[in-house]
Amino acid sequence: MCLAVPGRILEVYQEEGLRMGRIDFAGTVNRACLDFVPEAGEGQYVIVHAGFAISMLNEKEAQESLQALREFAETQEGEHQPAANPATLQDS
Which parts of this chain interact with other proteins (CB under 8 A)? 1-6, 8, 16-18, 25-26, 30, 32-33, 35-38, 45, 47, 49-52, 54-55, 57-59, 61-62, 65-66, 69-70, 72-73, 76-77, 80, 86, 88-89, 92
- Considering beta carbons, is residue 14 or 92 the nearer one to other proteins? 92
- Considering beta carbons, is residue 11 or 89 the nearer one to other proteins? 89
- Considering beta carbons, is residue 12 or 73 the nearer one to other proteins? 73
Nearest distance, CB of residue 10 and other proteins, angstroms:
13
Amino acid code (one letter) for 5? V
Those residues with Cβ within 8 angstroms of residue 55's Cβ, 6 or more apart along the chain or in another chain: 36, 37, 46, 47
Phi-psi region of 76 (alpha: psi -120 to 50; beta: other; left: phi over 0): alpha
